[in-house]
Amino acid sequence: MAGTLLLTASSGWNGACTAASRESVETHLLQGAPHTARADLDVVLPRHVHRDPAGPKRDCRRSHKSSPRRLSWLHAAHGAVRQSGPGPDPSSWSVPAWGLLHLVSKADCQWWVRRCVHRIEKGGAVMSGSQNYINHVALVLDASSSMSHLSRKVVEVADQQISYLARRSQELDQETRVTVYVFADKVECVIYDKDVLRMPSLKQLYRVGGMTALLAATLKSQKELAQTAQLYGDHSFLTFVLTDGQENASHRCQDAPVRDPRELVEAVAKMTETQEDNWTLAVLVPDQMGKREAMQCGFPKDNIAIWDATSTQGLEEAGQVIQQATEKFMVGRSQGIRGSRAVFSTGAETVNKDTIEAAGLTPANPSEYQLIPVAREATIRDWVVECGHTFRTGCAFYQLSKSEKIQARKQIAVLEKKTDRVYTGPEARALLGLPDMEARVKPDHNDDFTIFVQSTSVNRKLVPHTRLLLMS
C-alpha cells in the first residue's frame, strides 16, 4: 500500500517557518509508519514554507490556488525518513484536486499527518478544503429502426440538453461530465465522461437501425460508469434512458451479461436495488405497458416518465421533462442531495419539510395572502370578484390539480396542508426543478403539501373543490 501527501505553501505568506514543522512531520512519520499497516508514504514538502505572523495560527486546512514552490521529497518507509531529491514538476499534477496546506505550527503538522495516516489505512484519498460537485450525466438513447422518423429531433433535443447542462454548470459552479450511449441490436458508447463545455453535437454520432436492446443498454451503461474514478470531489451519477418501445433484443445482444430474458430483468432489478445513494437512474417510456415493464425491472416508480413517441412534439416535451428533472437534480446537488428516486415527481419525496428547508424557503406572512375554496367551476377573475375581493393580474394562484404547462415567469407557491402556511419565492420553482423556460408539471400524491401556480390570465377555468390562493 502506498500513498502521497502533498504539503505546499501560498506565495502570499511572509516570514520563514521554523524548522519545527519539518521536524514534526519527520518525527511523526518515524513514530507512525511502523504502525500503519507497513504503508509506504511519500511526503512532499516545500523547501521554504512561509507564514504570516498575523495570520491564522491553526488553519492548516485553508485552500488557496497559488502556484506551489519548488518541492523536495521525503520518503518514509517502515520507519526510515530520508531526503530523496527534487520531486516532479507540480504543474504535471492535478494540483487543484489536492488542495494546498499551510503548516503554521508543529501541532498542525502532527494533526495533518495523523489524518493522512488514518485515511491511508482506510485506502482513502486526502483532500483539503471543501470538495467540488462533479456530476456525471449519461444519455442512453434508443436508436432502433422505429426511431427513424424522430432521428433529427433526437439530435436536436440532446444537443439542447447538453447546452442547458453547460450553462447551468457554470451558473451553479458544478463540474459536469457527459456520457452518451446509443443502442439498437448492440450498445455503443459514443462519448464517455466528457467535459460538458467541450461537447460536440450528436449529429454525426446518432444513427438508427435495428431492434431494442433496452436492458443490455441499461446494464452496460451503469456497469461502465461505475468504473469512473470518484476521487477528490462529491461525485454523483444521473442517467436518462430514452426508448420508444419495449425490450426485444437484449437476449441476443453481445453486450448483455446473460442471455435468458428473465435473468436480464433480475440483473437490472438487482443493480437498481444495490446502487449507492449518489446514483440516479431514470427512464422515459412510450406508454403504460412500458412503465409496468420498467417497474418490474426495478426502476423507481417516480423515476419513470411516459412520453408521446409518435410525434416530434412528443419528443420535444420529453426533452423538457428531462431538462426539468436535471434542474431538480442540479439544484438538489447544491443543497447537498446526492441522488434521487423521484426525479419526475412533485410528490412527497420531492416536496416535504426537509426539502423545503434545504431549498431555503421561508413562510409568507399570513396577512399577505388568503385561501379561497372553489365551490363551482368559474373563471379566475369572476370567482375572485364574486368572493368579494379585488382582482389584479398575477395576484391569484390556482391549485395544481392536473398536468399543466408552466411558463418561465410564473411564480410557484407551496402550501402546507395542516397549517395553511404558504411558501413562495424563486426557491419554490427550484424545489420542483422548473427550468427558466416552459415546462410541463403534473401533480403527484402528497399528503402534506399542495402546489399552487400563478395565473396571469383573467379567464382560466378553476376546478371545483380545489382552493385559490390570493396574494396581496
Q: What's the confidence (pLDDT) of residue 126?
A: 45
Alpha-carbon separation of residue 129 from 10, 64, 107, 194 (angstroms): 14, 9, 19, 25
Euclidean distance between CA atoms 244 and 297, whole angstroms: 17
Strands annotated E in 270-387? 279-285, 304-306, 369-373, 378-379
Q: Is 274 left (phi over 0), alpha (psi -120 to 50) or beta?
A: alpha
Give the model's confidence band at 163: pLDDT under 50 very low, under 70 low, under 90 confident, else very high.
very high
Q: What's the confidence (pLDDT) of residue 77?
A: 26
Q: What's the confidence (pLDDT) of residue 430?
A: 85
Instruction: Identify the residue with better confidence: 125 or 372.
Output: 372
Give the model's confidence band at 129: pLDDT under 50 very low, under 70 low, under 90 confident, else very high.
low
Determine what percent of the chain is predicted with pLDDT higher than 90: 57
Q: What's the confidence (pLDDT) of residue 151?
A: 97
Give the model's confidence band at 21: pLDDT under 50 very low, under 70 low, under 90 confident, else very high.
very low
Instruction: Identify the residue with better confidence: 17 or 241.
Output: 241
pLDDT of 275 > 70? The answer is yes
DSSP code string of 183-208:
ESSSEEEEEEEEEGGGPPPSTTT---
Q: What's the confidence (pLDDT) of residue 207?
A: 96
pLDDT tens digits along 214-258: 999 999 999 999 999 998 899 999 999 999 998 999 999 999 999
What order do you get walking across the sheet with 40-46 strand by strand? 2-6, 40-46, 71-77, 80-86
Q: Which residue from 168, 100, 96 is spatially nearest to 135, judged by alpha carbons? A: 168
DSSP code string of 142-189:
E-SGGGGGGHHHHHHHHHHHHHHHHHHHHHHT-EEEEEEEEESSSEEE
SS3 75: strand
- Helices 214-225 and 261-274 pack at an angle, to 10 degrees, of 40
At 393, list the grid cell: 393580474
Q: What's the confidence (pLDDT) of residue 197?
A: 96
Which of 287-301, 310-324, 331-345 comes out lowest in average pLDDT?
Answer: 331-345
Instruction: Identify the residue with better confidence: 78 or 400.
Output: 400
Q: What's the confidence (pLDDT) of residue 358?
A: 84
Q: What's the confidence (pLDDT) of residue 383?
A: 97
Q: Is 105 left (phi over 0), alpha (psi -120 to 50) or beta?
A: beta
Residues belonging to the chain: 472
Q: What's the confidence (pLDDT) of residue 84?
A: 34
pLDDT of 448 > 80? The answer is yes
Q: Which domains does the chain have, with CATH numbers?
A: 2-121 (no CATH), 133-334 (3.40.50.410), 353-471 (no CATH)
pLDDT of 86 > 90? The answer is no
Beta pairing, strands 187-195 & 80-86: unpaired
Euclidean distance between CA atoms 209 and 213, whole angstroms: 12
pLDDT tens digits along 346-401: 888 889 998 898 888 989 999 999 999 999 999 999 999 999 999 999 999 999 99
Instruction: Indicate the residue type of 391.
Output: F
SS3 341: coil
Half-sphere exposure of 118 (CA within 13 A, CB side): 7
Instruction: Indicate the residue type of 143.
Output: A
What is the average pLDDT across 91-96? Answer: 32
pTM: 0.63
pLDDT of 153 > 90? The answer is yes
Instruction: Identify the residue with better confidence: 113 or 70.
Output: 113
